[in-house]
Amino acid sequence: MRSGSLNLPVNFLQIIFLKEMKKNSNKKFKVLITWQSIIKKIKVYKKILNKNNISYDCKQPKQCFSSSELKKYIHQYDGVICGDDDFNSDVLSKAKKLKVISKWGTGIDSIDSVAAKKMGIKVFNVKDAFTDEVATYAVGILIYLTRGLGELNINKTRKWTKYTGESLIGKNAGIVGHGRIGVKIEKYLKALGCNVFINDIKKIKRKKKKFLTI
């Protein structure tokens, strides 16, 4: 992999890696980028992409592209960096040049991975894309509810109401699922003084317990 590429988001690294593994280093790759966070910063990566013989088109949907929209131009691209765009089997059948789909995010429900595999198209995701964001959001909501922050309503009353709410210290907290997000939530809850209990099918089967106390 050419120098400087480690400064790229993981989606670009996936495409560059596949490109070079297939011994296409000297061939120009054309990539479609639909994910807004990368489009906003594309100028930062332009120089490195040029060094790796990658050209790109940025097309930003309001939310995500439908299959009917993608079918109009997907045939032009060797790679895609996408969000929740609809890459069904019909779209993939039109993508004669496509070699890789890199999803910014964890879930790949919007991509027909079975059809992609049959066509030799590699499908990647970014497993930790929103782990911290989801975990902090979940714990934030918990604090909001237990501490009664909604009861303050300072903007309307212009008064500071002494509403104590409930302390999380010493409370029992249950987490269903102990994957990447569950592990993060556990870390934050323990920092707040909670007793944490985990319900995770895979881990419980291994340890033969109903709950795991962390």
Q: What tens digit of pLDDT does each residue of 126-183 get?
A: 887 788 889 999 999 999 999 888 776 666 666 666 777 889 999 999 999 888 899 9
Is residue 145 domain-shared with residue 98, that is, in the same domain?
A: no
Q: What is the pLDDT of residue 212?
A: 56
Is residue 116 domain-shared with residue 135, that is, in the same domain?
A: no
pLDDT per residue as tens digits for the range 26-82: 678 899 999 888 898 888 888 878 888 889 999 988 889 999 999 999 999 999 999
Q: What is the pLDDT of residue 6?
A: 35
Is residue 191 domain-shared with residue 85, that is, in the same domain?
A: no
- Quick one: pLDDT band at residue 120, thresholds 50, 70, 90? very high
Q: What is the CATH number of the domain that holds 189?
A: 3.40.50.720
Domain ranges, residue 32: 5-124
CA dist 155 and 166 (Å) reads: 22
Domain end call among 76, 97, 124: 124
Whether this model's pTM surpasses 0.85: no
Domain end call among 124, 147, 162: 124
Is residue 42 domain-shared with residue 86, that is, in the same domain?
A: yes
Q: What is the pLDDT of residue 204?
A: 63
Q: What is the pLDDT of residue 158?
A: 66
Is residue 101 domain-shared with residue 193, that is, in the same domain?
A: no
Q: Nearest-CA neighbor of 73 among 114, 118, 33?
A: 33
Is residue 33 domain-shared with residue 65, that is, in the same domain?
A: yes
Is residue 78 domain-shared with residue 157, that is, in the same domain?
A: no
Is residue 151 domain-shared with residue 97, that is, in the same domain?
A: no
Does residue 7 have a pLDDT over 50?
no
**88 or 158, which is more confident?**
88
Beta carbons within 8 Å of 111's beta carbon, 6+ residues apart: 87, 101, 103, 123
Helix (H, G, I), strand (E, B) or coil at 101: strand
How many domains, the chain? 2
Q: What is the pLDDT of residue 4?
A: 36
CA dist 59 and 144 (Å) reads: 38
Is residue 116 domain-shared with residue 161, that is, in the same domain?
A: no
Q: What is the pLDDT of residue 207?
A: 58
Q: What is the pLDDT of residue 10?
A: 66
Q: Provide the pairing of β-strand 79-82 with 100-103.
A: parallel
Q: What is the pLDDT of residue 214?
A: 52
Q: What is the pLDDT of residue 188?
A: 96
Domain end call among 124, 141, 167: 124
Q: Nearest-CA neighbor of 194 among 164, 167, 166, 173?
A: 173
Does residue 187 have a pLDDT over 90?
yes
Is residue 93 domain-shared with residue 73, that is, in the same domain?
A: yes
